[in-house]
Amino acid sequence: MRLSVVAAILGMAVLAGCASAPRLSPQTHKLVQLRTALGVGYMRQGQLGLARNELAHALALDPTDGPADNAMALVEERLREPVKAQRYFRRGLAHHPSDGSLQNNYGAFLCGTGHVAEGLKHFRAALHSPLYPTPQLADLNMAVCLLKVPNEKAAIHYFHRAQALAPELAAPYYYLARIRYEHREYARAKGDLAQYLARARSAHALFLGVRIGQALGDTRFIHYCATRLLEGYRHSREAQTVVQWQREGRLGGH
């Protein structure tokens, strides 16, 4: 799971930003909120052109609206327009420097584009924002970014912080399972991955489960993960690898 994906999927709390400028009439303010909400809704559905259109209308009504800039930056990032995305992030933060959602999403953008040190600064700013409603997302993104430093010890600390704030979050368990696997702590890796799979499913996590099962010689766990991988993600690269292992007789535990 790349950091940019984490940001795009988990950084959707863009409607929790600062209020629009007080010069707007109440009716215009409500319209800005509506257009922004519609834009975010379209973005979640993958209809990026419609999302961009709604958010452009919102920003035409109020060029200083932080949530609209935030959402537009995410749309442009998904459209692979990093220069435009950065411009919207910077403009939003120029008007709303204490907006934790903007700080978190910009940090994820920076880390995803290789500017790790600068990205970490923005995650810290998000965590220092007293009105930021989802600090667990900044903790999670901070941890993933720290793995790029690499600073595994600090990353684990922030994964645990995210878990403490939001036990329902799946992603920290996957990353911790991967770290445990790389350190050959296979039983702990299996425990973390089982927690992830109780909350979410993904091809990369199920494939990790197959490898953990192989390391443990746990044929039941191998079968559990391989079956769900082939059923739910048959066309993924991970599933194709498992099919190849099956053909070669290499799927079972050591």
What superfamily would CATH give domain 167-253?
Answer: Tetratricopeptide repeat domain (1.25.40.10)
**pTM of this prediction?**
0.85
| More confident: 2 or 53 | 53
Residue 203 in tokens: 């091809």
pLDDT digits (tens, 9 = 90+) for 106-128: 999 999 999 999 999 999 999 99
Q: How many residues does the chain have?
A: 254
Q: Look at the block and give the residue holding tokens 């940001």.
A: 7
Nearest to 220 by CA among 233, 210, 208: 210
pLDDT digits (tens, 9 = 90+) for 28-39: 999 999 999 999
Contact (Cβ atoms closer than 8 angstroms) between residue 102 and residue 96: yes
pLDDT digits (tens, 9 = 90+) for 156-167: 999 999 999 999
What sign has the CA pseudo-torsion 137, 100, 149, 152?
A: negative
Q: Look at the block and give the residue holding tokens 């992603």.
A: 171
Locate the domains of the chain by residue range.
167-253
What is the rounded average pLDDT of the residues 85-106? Answer: 96
What is the rounded average pLDDT of the residues 20-44? Answer: 88
Q: Report d(CA 48, CA 82) in Å as an integer.
A: 15
Q: Report d(CA 151, CA 4) in Å as an integer.
A: 19
Q: Report d(CA 212, CA 176) in Å as an integer.
A: 13
- What pLDDT does 253 receive? 58
For the cut 70, the answer to whether the pLDDT of residue 251 exceeds it is yes
